[in-house]
Amino acid sequence: MFLDGQKVGLRPVREEDASIFQEWMNDPEIIQYLLIYLPITLAAERQWIENTNKSKDSIVLTIVTKTPIDGKPIGNVALVTINKKDGHATLGIVIGDKDYHEYGYGTEAARLMIGYGFNQLNLHRINSSALAFNKRSINMHLKLGFKKEGRQRQKIFKNGKYADEVLFGLLREEWKK
Ligand SMILES: CC(C)(COP(=O)(O)OP(=O)(O)OC[C@H]1O[C@@H](n2cnc3c(N)ncnc32)[C@H](O)[C@@H]1OP(=O)(O)O)[C@@H](O)C(=O)NCCC(=O)NCCS
């Protein structure tokens, strides 16, 4: 395991994750909260995994359960566009398996990734954002200590209308507290 928590562990993304990722990324209930909107083929998903694992400026990990089942992939979490000069990166997270929503798995997975960002990558800040109607994600960010830094109005067209995007930031000194 790459990073170990109580309920979840984070491990590198594997080629065989492609079909489960594809399932999540084609589920309207999941992608309503994400920036992607086009259907994804298995070949595209495999290519994405290959590119991701080669990337020098992002780290994407698969979230796997520890309890009640060991090693079941339920989502992924990432730090992307890692900027070494200014010491920041952008957090992304999805619990793709809806049976695991609202049990604290997302918060723990994000916490592990953020800890890695500050402690191992020596980041100074982590950027993130959520669509304004994504109450679970907004609450998760606030619980993790992110500060709301802005709101871009009517930024993303989702479900037939424009949604605002809420911008978040978390500084290293705030995390240490
Ligand atoms: C957003 C997401 C990562 C949160 O992970 P999760 O495991 O479902 O959420 P958690 O159980 O850790 O809950 C986090 C907080 O959200 C809030 N929350 C949970 N359910 C909620 C609901 N139905 N309505 C509003 N807030 C809710 C709570 O404050 C909760 O913390 P608490 O239970 O300690 O009070 C996950 O739901 C997900 O992947 N959703 C689909 C994709 C997505 O939205 N990704 C994020 C894009 S920015």
Report CA(75)–ligand 1 centroid distance (Å).
13
User: Which pair of structure tokens corresponds to residue 121?
Assistant: 């990558």
| Of 10, 140, 164, 165, best ligand 1 pocket probe by most atoms within 8 Å of the beta carbon | 140
Counting the structural domains of the chain, the total is 1
Query: Ligand 1: which residue has its CA nearest to atom 32?
Result: 104
Per-residue pLDDT of the chain (177 residues; tens, 9 = 90+): 689 999 999 999 999 999 999 999 999 999 999 999 999 999 999 999 999 999 999 999 999 999 888 899 999 999 999 999 999 999 999 999 999 999 999 999 999 999 999 999 999 999 999 999 999 999 999 999 999 999 999 999 998 999 999 999 999 999 977
Give the domain range for residue 73. 3-176
**pLDDT at residue 69 in the model:** 85
Torsion of CA 33, 38, 40, 44, to 10 degrees: -110
Mapping DSSP onto H, E and C, the string for the chain reads CCEECCCEEEEECCHHHHHHHHHHHCCHHHHCCCCCCCCCCHHHHHHHHHHHHHCCCCEEEEEEECCCCCCCEEEEEEEEEEECCCCEEEEEEEECCHHHCCCCHHHHHHHHHHHHHHHCCCCCEEEEEEECCCHHHHHHHHHCCCEEEEEEEEEEEECCEEEEEEEEEEEHHHHHC
Global pTM exceeds 0.75: yes
The atom of ligand 1 lying closest to the CA of 75 is 39
CATH of the domain at 11: 3.40.630.30
**pLDDT at residue 93 in the model:** 98
Query: Ligand 1: which residue has its CA nearest to atom 14?
Result: 140
| Of 102, 105, 113, 128, best ligand 1 pocket probe by most atoms within 8 Å of the beta carbon | 102
Report CA(15)–ligand 1 centroid distance (Å).
27
Report CA(58)–ligand 1 centroid distance (Å).
23
